[in-house]
Amino acid sequence: MSKTTKCKVQSMNEFTDEGNRLFGENKRHWEFVCPVCKTVQSANDFLKRGLDPNKYIGYSCIGRFKKNPPKAFGNKKIAEGSGCDFTNGGLFRLGPKIIILENKTERYTFDFNRSEEPNDNN
């Protein structure tokens, strides 16, 4: 698999359908996973911190808004779930999803939290 196909591309409709299927229609409960520190975060978590989730959800790790967050690309290993300073708006856009918006622009976003999803491999 080449680097350019690493991100999963979805239309906004496909993305919304998947979110509804996993978490229901209330988007505040949709859970995303930071691709670097694996922290699960929802719009509710951003609202609790007084942040506008529309700006950040699935895009910037909630760890960015802590004091002195661990650096996503620093030398120190980040404890899983501790939050970090990663954003898809930075130099390294990890996605791992790309949503094609209605105006045809691409938005890099975190993947949904799939830890509750039934796994066929078991």
CB neighbour burial string for 92-122, b if at least 16 within 10 angstroms, e if fewer: ebbbebbbbeeeeeeebbbbbbeeeeeeeee
57 binds Zn ion (CB under 5 A): no
37 binds Zn ion (CB under 5 A): yes
43 binds Zn ion (CB under 5 A): no
84 binds Zn ion (CB under 5 A): yes
Ranges of beta strands (E only) in 43-96 are none
Whichever of 76 and 104 has its CB closer to Zn ion, that residue is 76
User: Shortest distance, CB of residue 89 to Zn ion, whole angstroms?
Assistant: 13
Asked if residues 108 and 34 have their Cβ atoms less than 8 Å apart, the reply is no
15 binds Zn ion (CB under 5 A): no
The one among 86, 108, 110, 112 contacting Zn ion by CB under 5 A: 86
Whichever of 34 and 99 has its CB closer to Zn ion, that residue is 34
Contacts of 73 (CB under 8 A, 6+ apart): 92
